Structure 1
Amino acid sequence: MSGLRTILTSSAIVGALGIGYGMWSVISPGEERKRELIKNLPESNPVRMEESKRRNALMLQVLKDAAETSDNIARGFGSQK
């Protein structure tokens, strides 16, 4: 009885994995769709890429300024005096 249970459990696990893989292969985009998605990424547009770099640089500067001050900048704008 234990051997039959092991065989049934193993086949159920293999079946579940097969169904999962089948569903994944149906949902996943094809090569043409992947190329289209990559083409439409913001990083592929040079203007948007420069905007992102500039925004990231500004955020890094704000974080550096916040690290150098002893004021609690999370409470509001300006220094707490």
Structure 2
Amino acid sequence: MSSGRRVAAGLLAVGALGAGLLMWSTVAPGPERKREILKELPEQNTLRMEESRRRNALVMQVLKDAAETEDNITWGPK
């Protein structure tokens, strides 16, 4: 009886895994969509990349300033 349950549980697990893989392959983007997604990445667009670098530099400057002061800068200027 115990071995029958194990076989049934194993078949159920394999079936669930197969169903999950089937659903994953159904919703995964095709090759054309993957190429479109890659074109839209910020690394591919030099203007976006420069904006990202500038924004990161500003954030790092704010963090540096905050680390150097004893004041609570989250409340704004006094």
TM-score range, shorter chain: over 0.9
Q: List per-residue Cα deviations over 1:15-45 (Å, max 9, x = no partner).
A: 0000000100111111211111010122211
1:4 counterpart letter in structure 2: G
1:21 counterpart letter in structure 2: L
**Residues 2-81 of structure 1: pairs in structure 2 closer than 5 A:** 2-74=2-74, 76-79=75-78
CA distance in 1, matches of 2:51, 2:5: 61
CA distance in 2, matches of 1:53, 1:24: 35
Deviating runs (4+, > 2 A) in structure 1? none
CA distance in 1, matches of 2:57, 2:45: 18
Gaps of 5+ in 1: none
CA RMSD after TM alignment: 1.0
Gaps of 5+ in 2: none
What TM-score, normalized by structure 2, do the two folds share? 0.93
Query: Between Structure 1 and Structure 2, which shows a larger proportion of helix residues?
Result: 2
Q: SS at the partner of 1:70?
A: coil
